[in-house]
Amino acid sequence: MSASVQGCRVDTPLLRVDSLSLSIGEDAILQTLSFQLHAGDTLGIVGESGSGKSMTALAIMQLLPVGAELQGSIAFCGEELVDLDEARMQHIRGADIGMVFQEPMTALNPVHTIAAQVAESIRLHRGLTRDESFTEARATLDRVGLSDIAGDRYPHELSGGQRQRVVIAIAIACRPRLLIADEPTTALDVTTQAGILALLDELQRETGMAMILVSHDLAVVAKTVDKLLVMRDGTILDSGDTEDIFSATASAYTRTLLDASTWSPPSVSRRADHNTVLLQVDGLVAGYPSGRRRLFAPRQIKNAVDNVSFAVHAGENLGLVGESGSGKSTLARCLLGLMPIEAGMVSLNGRTLSLPKRVQSRSQQEWGRAVRRDIQIVFQDPYGSFNPRHRVERLVAEPLHLLDEPMTRSQRRQRVSALLERVGIEPADALGRYVHEFSGGQRQRIALARALIVQPSLIILDEAVSALDVSVRAQVLALLAELAADEGLAYLFVSHDLSVVRNVTDRVLVMRGGCVVESGLTDEVLSQPRSAYTRSLVDAIPTLPVLT
């Protein structure tokens, strides 16, 4: 305790960052940042990927990657943190400045119980005995809303939201004066996100600590913070009171960000043809095998999708909404034939696509493959959905394998080029490159080109825009709307993000625990939800203050 910063004077800012610059190698990451924070303040740092917002947080904690060069000054309670010796910094970290990271699973040690992990931090910084620290740890776990969970559980036994609460408990256990939360809710579901934000807000009010909330999502920070920094390319574009920034004083870039997060598609005439059923799903049941009870006993199937029926009409955008574990991704996989189904039937354009294995004959399986070109998918992760060892031409051409007649090399190149152009990628430049040379938004465009190459009538978008920055997301959504209008495509829009679903889909299905709990026209379902679960999802959507 004696080692922590004492006697911070009332008139000294708690944190003063002065012309801070950071470079790694030849890249300038941060350029002359200056801002300050007083005790009890809440500051939001907002920006898209590469804006330097996380690096700012890491610079304050002095947890920068090897090779980073820092110039300027970071004063915490008047004490200079830049070039402070590591032993002293270790006392400040945890005791005076707490940090919450994005990914709660990797931030916790899997081999220790949660109480032990909270207690460890308390013991290190507050010099309590083992028993005292455990008592204190349990009290802290109660404080973050984990009172009904025993402290002797392990991280893998908790849900994502509960784990993030444990991470917060560790961060606040030593009663820091400053809490830095770096994208604390990005990895969580909407309903869980609302709970975590409320908890942070409450803790901040109660303890009077200052808080820095780093996020890419304006709507997440808008409600929680008093002051806002908008960052881009390592510089501060806008700073000031949150209300002022949301009013007309903001820079053009901040306005773009605001507009992008409330994006709605240009009013194209929706071509949904409700007479033509494109995809029909009847009583679908599917699941994953769990462990055997005994050796040689048949594996038990744990149902992830339970008796789901719905239809997608030609040219329609159907939203499929649910939290993680609701079975929406499993359902998408069944439609693509990537997973065997246990019961029910899937048909596309009136032809059977999937049947349970025991009633399926070999010829039906073959036939299913031929039909498969009508249904394609764009995955969530723009990094993981391409083979890193293939070049763009080969990647985009991959589904051509489904065509009956093989194409010549030049035909193939022509087709790939035409599609890349269609999705806004310059083919001459892109064909011979690897995907890691492209940005996230460009990769999703390439993924879309790959899906379009066999001219499908339905594309499944499995969280396809969730990993993108808001401004890029708006561009990709605009492209999707344009393609739908031109090609008469139907989309199955799988997402946990209701704000996007609300803007781009005609009808929506809400899933929970493998079952459909509600379905109907998007506007009706989201404005007058009939089930309590849908209502909780709708209420949890973070909203921006209305622009004046």
Partner 1 sequence: MRRTAAAIGVFLVALLVVMALLSLVWTPYDVTRLAIPDKLQTPGAAHWLGTDHFGRDILSMLMVGARTSISVALIAVGIGLGAGVPLGLLAASGAGGWIDEAVMRFNDLVFAFPALVIAILITAVYGPGAVNAMIAIGIFNVPVFARLTRGAALALWPREFVLAARVAGKGSLRISVEHILPNLSNLLIVQSTIQFSLGILAEAGLSYVGLGAQPPIPSWGRMLAESQTLITLSPHVAIFPGLAIVVSVLGLNLLGDTLRDKLDPRLTHER
Binding region for partner 1 (CB under 8 A): 333, 336, 338, 369, 372-373, 376-377, 379-381, 384-390, 398-402, 433-434, 436-437, 450
For partner 1, give the closer residue by CB, 228 or 423.
423
Across 190-234, the runs of DSSP E, i.e. the strands, are: 210-215, 227-232
Sort strands 227-232 and 235-241 into parallel, antiparallel or unpaired. Answer: antiparallel
Closest CA to 178 of 87, 60, 262: 60
Beta carbon of residue 193, minimum distance to partner 1 (angstroms, whole number): 24
User: Are 87 and 145 in contact, with CB atoms under 8 Å apart?
Assistant: no
User: Are 321 and 328 in contact, with CB atoms under 8 Å apart?
Assistant: yes
Give the type of residue at 95.
A
**Token pair recorded at residue 311:** 């239809």
For partner 1, give the closer residue by CB, 294 or 389.
389
Beta carbon of residue 439, minimum distance to partner 1 (angstroms, whole number): 13
d(CA 451, CA 448): 5
Beta carbon of residue 434, minimum distance to partner 1 (angstroms, whole number): 5
Beta carbon of residue 292, minimum distance to partner 1 (angstroms, whole number): 11
Beta carbon of residue 384, minimum distance to partner 1 (angstroms, whole number): 5
d(CA 471, CA 391): 27
Residue 514 zone, left/alpha/beta (φ > 0; ψ -120 to 50; rest): left
For residue 211, list its beta bridge partners. Answer: 42, 179
Residue environment code for 468-495, b if the CB has 16+ CB neighbours within 10 A, otherwise e: bbbbbbbbbbebbbbbbbebebbbbbbb
**Token pair recorded at residue 73:** 């000054």
Beta carbon of residue 281, minimum distance to partner 1 (angstroms, whole number): 17
For partner 1, give the closer residue by CB, 362 or 389.
389
For partner 1, give the closer residue by CB, 240 or 340.
340
Phi, psi angle pair for 402, to nearest 5°: -80, -15
Give the type of residue at 401.
H
For partner 1, give the closer residue by CB, 220 or 400.
400
For partner 1, give the closer residue by CB, 327 or 368.
368
Beta carbon of residue 288, minimum distance to partner 1 (angstroms, whole number): 12
For partner 1, give the closer residue by CB, 238 or 463.
463
Residue 191 zone, left/alpha/beta (φ > 0; ψ -120 to 50; rest): alpha
